Amino acid sequence: MRSARLRRTRRASAVALVSALTLSALAACGTSSSDDDGGGASQGSGSSDPSAPLDPKTKVTITIDCMPPAAKAPELKEWKEDVKEFNKIYPNVTVDGRSTPGQCLEPPRFTAMLKAKSQPDVFYTYFTDLPQVLDNDGAEDVTAYVNDRTVPLLKDIDPAVLSSLKQDGKLYGLPTSNYTMGLLINRKLFKRAGLDPDNPPRTWEEVRAAAKKIAGLGDGIAGFGEYSAGNQGGWHFTAQMYSVGGEIVDASGRKAAFDSELGKQVAENLHAMRWEDDSMGKTQLLKWGDLQKQIATDKLGMFLAAPDDITYMVQQLGAKYENFGMGPIPGEKNTLAGGNSYMIKKGISPDKIKAAIAWLNFETLTAGKGQFDWARRKADGLPVGIPQPNFWLNGTKTKDDAARAENATMPVENFKTFMDNPVTGKAEPPKAQEIYKVLDNVMSGILTDRDADIDKLLGTAESQVNQILAHQ
């Protein structure tokens, strides 16, 4: 699973999140390949049938984005091990891993890469990148190449996750991870406030009541935290709207839908928590990284997050896994969902496409292997037990859950409420980052102005979002 920072940087647009990793340019795992099909990069006895798996005799080189950098030694070790194992099946495929500084982290570089057609054969994306990639004619339609022969566990992948990589019924990528947002809590503060950390709040009324108790501990502790800057305020306003059954954009995708009774309900509840209850802290205009620091240092009781925020806080901020718990998003009507994927460069040869799908199937879509080899991850000192990525269904889910629990390096029972009460995930709205930027103004107005005119904030934002949607 990619780190929280990696996953959120483009999702939060060009906003700098925390400090970016310094990526080292590494030697390729195999010989280098140009981005086109020249130079004899693909040759052999490949089948002309796109639905057929790659013939192991086919000689081909594929370039792949986001190989772990040297700074992530355990992850890089596992990558190299997987390339070696993959080559036992496909000895004539050269996997040329790329670890280019910024390419997987910075929105401007990603956009420039697409416009220049300089992306690797297999390039890393977020679910929300699909419109931008297609606008730049950057991804191959792999519908004909992906089936239960090339991806044997295809039927066990959550259709909602796959749908995030489809447009007009065509498939443009394969998932590597997914997430849904829930309520992340500080168990230590819950206990101090007389709350049950094994039963996090399930409604927004319960959140408000719990936040007041936690803030009552004093010493600058906030009960509940929210973002209101860097596009992340709008992102979380969207999550809260989904949680109560609301929408940001109507079914046509052409009109804003948040200036509604549900929109006012979300805004008024936050305003009341901030100003009437004084349970959200005095420091506002927060963005990604700020709430994580607060809860990791026992200054915040709870906030909306994806499960892998916990890994980030342990690995980067020195927190302890046992100090955190998670429940489903309050309200539980829907929750905001997203994730990561790989797409395949438009115009590369059919053999390269088949090799790319074979690699992605091996590395990211096989239970017990690659990224889902939980025993190996534990042995290598990597975290095991966070409930996502978990896009599996049916028997594969049962098998993966059992292996994850058996090799857990953290108290998985702390996530039981989250796991036992799954909430339907909804994708981010169209033009998400542009909309989030507008909705930041709603969140910042609510949280920084005691006399905020909520009707005016929502009305102005809706007019601005309608203009954005009119220019799709």
Please determine whether the domains at 4-180+339-406 and 182-334+426-470 fall in the same fold group of CATH: yes
Predicted local distance difference test score (pLDDT) of residue 295: 98
- Give the mean pLDDT of 65-72: 90
Q: What is the pLDDT of residues 20-40, one digit of tens each?
A: 333 333 333 333 333 333 333
User: Is 50 exceeded by the pLDDT of residue 139?
Assistant: yes
What is the spatial distance between Cα 434 and Cα 442, in angstroms, rounded to a whole number? 14
Name the fold adopted by 4-180+339-406: D-Maltodextrin-Binding Protein; domain 2 (3.40.190)
Asked if 121 and 345 count as a contact pair (C-beta separation under 8 A), the reply is yes
Predicted local distance difference test score (pLDDT) of residue 433: 87
User: Is 60 exceeded by the pLDDT of residue 256?
Assistant: yes
Reference 173, options 160, 164, 182, 181; nearest CA is: 164
- What the block records as the tokens of 357 is 């799908």
What is the spatial distance between Cα 466 and Cα 249, in angstroms, rounded to a whole number? 9
Q: Band of the pLDDT at 407, cuts 50, 70, 90?
A: very high
Whole-Å CA distances, 37 to 33, 116, 141: 9, 17, 17
User: Is 60 exceeded by the pLDDT of residue 194?
Assistant: yes
β-pairing verdict for 425-426 and 335-344: parallel
* b/e burial code for range 205-227 (CB count within 10 A of at least 16 → b): ebbbebbbbbbebeeebbbbbbb
- Give the mean pLDDT of 160-171: 94
Q: What is the pLDDT of residues 416-440, one digit of tens each?
A: 999 999 999 998 998 898 999 999 9
Whole-Å CA distances, 241 to 13, 250, 262, 439: 21, 13, 7, 12
Reference 5, options 106, 154, 96, 86; nearest CA is: 106
Share of the chain above pLDDT 90, in %: 79
pTM (2 d.p.): 0.82
Q: What is the mean pLDDT of the chain?
A: 89
Q: What is the pLDDT of residues 69-97, one digit of tens each?
A: 998 899 999 999 999 999 999 999 999 99
Predicted local distance difference test score (pLDDT) of residue 277: 98
Q: What is the pLDDT of residues 292-347, one digit of tens each?
A: 999 999 999 999 999 989 999 998 999 999 999 999 999 999 999 988 999 999 99
What is the spatial distance between Cα 380 and Cα 456, in angstroms, rounded to a whole number? 54
* Domain residue ranges in the chain: 4-180+339-406, 182-334+426-470
Name the fold adopted by 182-334+426-470: D-Maltodextrin-Binding Protein; domain 2 (3.40.190)
- Give the mean pLDDT of 149-166: 95
